Amino acid sequence: MEENFNPVAQTRANYYTPGSPVQFVCVELLKGDVSGEHAVCLTFKNISRVTLTALEIHFKCKGVDGVILCEDKFEYRDLQVKPGELFGQDDAVFITAKAITSVDVTLCNVYNGKRVVHLDGIKRVRLPAPRRLAPELQKALEARMNRTGLKYQPQVFENGWYCACGAFHPTEEDTVYCSECGCDRILLQNALNTLLQPAAPADEMEMPLNAPAAPAAPAAVEEPTRIVGAAPAAPAAPVEEPTRVVGAPVYEPKADPIQPVSEPTRVLDASVRAPLSGAAAADEGTRVIPARRPAPVRQPAPVEDEGYEEYEDSRDSVAEALIRWVPPITAILCAAIALCGFVYYQFVL
């Protein structure tokens, strides 16, 4: 009689096998709805670049008191598992009525057609436990990534990286996408970094120019490892330059070449101030008035020298005659010399 088995518990593998083309992912415990027996199902993933056709494993199931309930080998045959695919979750390797607390799995041989890779001698590496996120941060991350089940803090190690869903991707897998939840590790880490950054208070958004510098924001939660490496430090804010008071430019009037810019002052003695009104004289002890402006001194106009003009005119006429007649005379002389030379060579010689 067929029986339906419902999921009861699921636990991810806490170790992996370096250099293996297949990795043990998780163990799932199912319970029959009629008999109440427990079925153990193991899930594996192909992290290679070829199609896997068979897998041989060795498993060990322990009960509540640590007693081994079953230790045996199991073979997955007639497989066609493509790169990145999960398999084995539908095959029960052990069924028992007793409660099971732990399952230990060792990879033995994996096949790709006729090719076989022996994994018995490879030492398994234990993985650090993933770190849980706070419930508020988990909900915010799931809303930002539009996915569910992102309960863990993404981390990267020397031998692989943890996704927020808890899946471990070894270095041999060579991928930035989680094969279980579909998250991009770079976008996932950027989203988490954004959520971890504290928001600035509203009263600090508008600050006067002369306000003292705000204290540095507290550092984000320290993470042992990050998905994309250390986040680039935010560019330092430009140092605010103090306000400088610049006075209006002073324009000084140009001095008049004839009138002086400043005028001397003179003090009137008592005899000169006597004619002033009595009230005015009583109020002011001494009165300063500008001195009289001196009359401008005009330069005499230059006297024209008629003899100088005549001398200059006579020299100009001689130079003009030389400039006019010297070139044609020189040209005639050169032509005559050339003609004489031509006649001499033609008729004399």
Which tens digit of pLDDT belongs to each residue from 115-172?
999 998 888 889 888 889 999 998 999 998 998 888 998 888 888 888 998 888 888 8
The type of residue at 102 is S
pLDDT at 268 over 70: no
Residue type, 148: T
Query: Which pLDDT does position 5 carry in this prediction?
Result: 83
Q: Are 80 and 53 in contact (CB under 8 A)?
A: yes
- What's the confidence (pLDDT) of residue 25? 92
- The yes-or-no verdict on residue 9 having pLDDT over 60 is yes
What is the residue type of 168?
A: F
Domain ranges in the chain are: 5-126, 135-196
**Mean pLDDT, residues 54-67:** 90
Task: Work out the pLDDT band at 313, boundaries 50, 70, 90.
Answer: low
Distance CA 39, CA 10 (A): 12
Name which of 45, 56, 128 is nearest 87 in CA terms: 45
CB atoms within 10 A of CB 127: 17
Q: Which of 47-61, 91-105, 259-273 has the highest mean pLDDT?
A: 47-61
Enter the pTM of the model.
Answer: 0.53
- As a CATH number, domain 5-126 is 2.60.40
Task: Give the mean pLDDT of 294-316.
Answer: 54
**Max avg pLDDT among 16-20, 222-226, 280-284:** 16-20
Three-state DSSP class for 204? Answer: helix
CA–centroid distance for 257 within its chain:
64
Please tell me the distance from the alpha carbon of residue 76 to that of residue 70, in angstroms, as a whole number.
Answer: 18
**What is the DSSP-derived secondary structure letter of residue 246?**
-
Q: Measured between alpha carbons, how far is 43 from 76 in angstroms, rounded to an integer?
A: 11
Tell me the per-residue pLDDT of 177-210, one tens digit each, with 9 for 90 and over: 888 888 888 898 888 888 888 754 444 444 443 4
